[in-house]
Amino acid sequence: MRKSAALLSGVLLAALLPLPANAEPPPIWTRDSSDRLFPYETRPAGASSTIDLYAARNETEAAQIAVRPTADVQNVSVATTPLTGPDGATLTDISVRREYLHPNVVDAYGGIETDGTGSKYYDALVENTPRTLAANVTQPYFYSVHVPTGAKPGVYTGSATVKSDAGNTTVPIRVTVYPATLPPTDQSNFKMDNWTTSAGWDYDGTIKAIPLQYGVKMYDVNWWRVIEAMAKNHARHRNNVVFADFQALLIPNTTIDAAGNYTFGWDTFDRFLKIYKDAGALQWIHTPHLLNGSTDSRGSEVETLQRAADGSTHMVTLPSGSPEATAYLNKVFPALKQHLDQLGLTNRFYMSANDETMKSVDTDAANWMYAIYRKYFPKPLLNEATYHIMNPPATVTADTPIVDLYENNVGYFQTRKQNGTELWMYNSGQPGGTYLNRLIKMYLNKTRLIPLLAWKAGATGYLHWGWNYWYDGTNTPIDTFDSAQTGDYFLIRPNKAAYDIYDSLRSEAQTDGIEDYELFTQLAATKPVLAKALANSLLMNSFTVDKSGVASDTVHRQVLDALAAGGNDQAYPYADDFSGGSQAWQSKGGNWSVSGGALTQTDTSRWDIVSGLKGRAYGDVSASVDLQIRGVNADGGDTNWAGIVIRNLNPTDFDSGYLIAQRNNGEVFVYRNGTALGKAQNPSYTAGQVTRLRVVARGTKLTVYAGPKQLLTVSDPNYTAGGIGLASGGVNVAFDNVRINPDVNPAEGSKVTTSSSYEQDGWGAQAAVDGQRTSDAASMGWTSDVGTTAQFDLDLGQVRSIGRVDLYPRTDGSNTGAGFPIDYKVEVSTNGSAWTTVANRTNQTRPSGVQTVPFATRDARYVRVTGTKLSQDPAGASRMQFAEVEATGGNLAAGRPVTASTSSEYPNEGWLRSNLTDGARQSRLWNSMGWTSESVPAGSPQSVRIDLGGPSLVNRIDLYGRTDGASTGQGFPIDYTVETSTDGTTWTPVASVTGAPQPGAGPVTYTFADRTARYVQVRGTQLRPDGEGGYRMQLAEVEVRQQPANLRRHRRH
């Protein structure tokens, strides 16, 4: 008791001792978890000192706390509090780990794009015990919180405290928990397969690494402690594929008598699997490859179990295809099948024959083995890590190409996937360069993005070498902390004293990526276009990516917000005449530039050149481009081509999605994965002419046009949504006037029925729904034959919600407006039989511009315009003529022109007036941020105005603030008025707001009684500071609707 009291007195005395003169706590700042910190890094200007995290339930989120003392400081550690949220609920599964500085990190083979300089990198996450920090060296701490499945959604707050002998600093922490819930590890959509060292495989490092590191023997009590720690670690990190060599695990319990009779013993195998099952990490099993590839001195060999001289069982290789090997496999495979059946795991077990096959003789050996395996497993799961495409290929059921092999053969792997072969991704020490991989010197966010690349490709799994291959062939324990290392052989490190695992920044980033995969999968179930657009904002392909962890965190939050918001999918109308450059496009290959008002590509040497549209995606869409082939490669000549790719998996893919292209010999074709789906001749084409190539994709049907002329229709179910790119093969080409209509106007490309139609000289029924609002020689629009009345019917293909029909008159010079009906009515129908008149107009004067017919929003599939009194065409004959007919519903502001009092136009960063109505509610730097005013002095009002294109019935306006992470809501006006006008001069307020709070991710919505408006304006009279000494008004998106009464919400602000 006296001893305890003395100790307590000592503690109290120490606590009461004064700090050294002028002692101050070391400076700190915070950073996201997917961007590295470096020992030489100083506190950036404006760096945050708080942590804000956004998480689904059953998700782990993290951030880093950087500590950089100006003088040596002792006893530094980080303490945490529980996080308290709704109704007193708490989050308590919180950890803080110190990041270990590895002094000898080296470049990987072949060179990589590195983040940082020198050889010192943080990676391992070790104990957060008090320690001395050196002056002017930045030490990061990794703070993470796991949100349990049953957590109440809402905001949780608490803190972390950086403690030291120089004083304490508190870091406020806020975690927003969303209603979305990730599935348990063993019920995941994604198959995460970390190549794990335990038993078997090479029968060298695999069986030596754990004993050497931990000082244990295989299968002793402490070896099993390590396996238990590994299983728990896999469950925490969503690794749900158990990498287990079933043959190696048979060795301890299998007996073989002198006559060669086998008694397979499954006790060790079962114990191994039970550990993973009990930990929640067993959803699938993958046994490593049984074949050893051929060398110059021997052929392929298969690993078998044989009787040793002392009567024990050991592994012996036999020549593949030999009678002895065949006889053995015909013993072990049926025994394996019988046992897996008993465990209920037969349909969860992946078998591999080879690894990274490069020789056809090894593929032959694999197919020999798989043929035997299939005798006993009629529905096998077979995969192999793949470095090369072999011909013929191994008869696997899952392709597992290394990332760059997939990138360069997208069409091949997608075709196999569509024919029933599962697709995984694979990483090892390769690829290097700028490709996605998980080596230490690489950008950390690249590790996180690999599962998202798999999601975009439709891959269901990811095989990652290597998780814990702690071995260098010397039969001595390697130093996993301070020795030379690239990050190839191990992702984690041994915690020897505890028979446990030290995680790493890379293992946590990998887990973040797996969690992203699950969330994107959930979002795609209801909003596939939005999910693909957000993914496209991070990844254009497997080597053109956003390397910023902040960007990934921002998109992660946007996915959570979109899941919580419900509602419909998004649409991204887009038009580009390249007058402002080509910043919205990302090229893969080729020689691209903006020249003469067009986007040109002059490299004729390749047939896989694409420029993809950034950060957008499309499902049902009408897409068109004016293209001119200006030169061709002699190889192929006029059969070379240029065109447009829609619904591709990555925006720069030309062999996923659908390639619609024009050859210089006049042929137009549709390809999927390099295979022709259809072709037709453009009869009016001459080499080198400008062609307006257009495709209308609705559901599985693709219709292709040259100008207004329909050339061919194909049907294919394989791609339903994706990106858009401009592609060329062997040509010098100019692209211009790209126009993308994601069914904002569903009349485009719809079926037209008329009372009569003149189909010559640029006139035709389809020319009135070709997306071209003006008349020219190639597309004048539609004209009836001579008569006293005429009728024009649209079939929109399915019932849609519409509230406006726009009639565009002919616009050919002095003939503008001729043929527009004097008296007409507009009717709609859901079934083509029962019609409702929505407008009846008489005595119409000859128009010079669009005539808008607004009406109360209603469901309709069919639209009919009947001219009951016609005007005269230029020849004096009575006809009904339109350049274009459009139908509009939903967001009436989509794609409409925007004007503003001032505007800072930053196309590279994504700030543009036009981005206020581009459909992108989510702010994405480098893609679409929305609109921002210029930086103005205090008290300077700013305004932004949208022209809806004509009088419209409206009753709802949604204002979206910016949603880019920590900047969410910045620039949203404090005091403002929302107003409408029919003429742009006289304004009627919708709402006048003072003291508006900074909004979150959702819309600020105003609903009101139906009114007619052409213009919508937001006037900000008190703005927020912009951090640059001025004030700005900023909005990500404005949407305008006329909703039926039963769908209206009360306004909120």
List, for residues 66-111, the tens digit of each pLDDT value. 999 999 999 999 999 999 999 999 999 999 999 999 999 999 877 8
The chain-wide mean pLDDT, for the chain, equals 95
Helices 267-279 and 323-343: angle between axes, nearest 10 degrees: 40
pLDDT digit string, tens, across residues 936-982: 999 999 999 999 999 999 999 999 999 998 899 999 999 999 999 99
pLDDT digit string, tens, across residues 670-701: 999 999 999 999 999 999 999 999 999 999 99
Share of the chain above pLDDT 90, in %: 94
> Does an H or E element contain 211, and which?
helix 205-214
Examine the pLDDT at 1050 and tell me if it is beyond 80.
no
Position 296 scores a pLDDT of 83
pLDDT digit string, tens, across residues 996-1043: 999 999 999 999 999 999 999 999 999 999 989 999 999 999 999 998
Examine the pLDDT at 406 and tell me if it is beyond 60.
yes
Helices 528-538 and 505-526: angle between axes, nearest 10 degrees: 150
pLDDT digit string, tens, across residues 593-615: 999 999 999 999 999 999 999 99
Position 800 scores a pLDDT of 94
Q: Residue 250: pLDDT band by 50, 70, 90 thresholds? A: very high
Q: What average pLDDT does range 211-238 have in this prediction?
A: 98
DSSP string for residues in 663-678? ETTSEEEEEETTEEEE
Q: For residue 408, which of 656, 238, 98 has the smallest C-alpha distance?
A: 656
Q: What average pLDDT does range 543-572 have in this prediction?
A: 96
Examine the pLDDT at 191 and tell me if it is beyond 70.
yes
- Is the alpha carbon torsion for 320, 323, 324, 330 positive or negative? positive
Examine the pLDDT at 34 and tell me if it is beyond 50.
yes
Question: Under DSSP, is residue 195 helix (H, G, I), strand (E, B) or coil?
Answer: coil
Position 1046 scores a pLDDT of 59
Position 979 scores a pLDDT of 98
Q: Which residues contact 188 (CB under 8 A, 6 or more apart)?
A: 238, 240, 283, 514, 518
Position 110 scores a pLDDT of 78
Q: Residue 1047: pLDDT band by 50, 70, 90 thresholds? A: low
Residues in the chain: 1053
Domains and their CATH numbers in the chain: 23-181 (2.60.40.10), 574-741 (2.60.120.560), 751-888 (2.60.120.260), 898-1047 (2.60.120.260)
Q: What average pLDDT does range 361-366 have in this prediction?
A: 96
Q: Residue 384: pLDDT band by 50, 70, 90 thresholds? A: very high
**Which value, in Å, is the radius of gyration of the alpha carbons in the chain?**
33
Q: Which pTM value belongs to this model?
A: 0.95
Examine the pLDDT at 314 and tell me if it is beyond 70.
yes
Cα–Cα distance for residue pair 473/386, rounded to 1 Å: 25
Q: For residue 673, which of 422, 424, 413 has the smallest C-alpha distance?
A: 413
Question: Under DSSP, is residue 30 helix (H, G, I), strand (E, B) or coil?
Answer: strand
Share of the chain above pLDDT 70, in %: 97
Q: Residue 239: pLDDT band by 50, 70, 90 thresholds? A: very high
What type of residue is 700? T
Examine the pLDDT at 16 and tell me if it is beyond 50.
no
pLDDT digit string, tens, across residues 490-522: 999 999 999 999 999 999 999 999 999 999 999
Burial class, 481, CB count within 10 angstroms (exposed 0-12 / middle 13-18 / buried 19+): middle
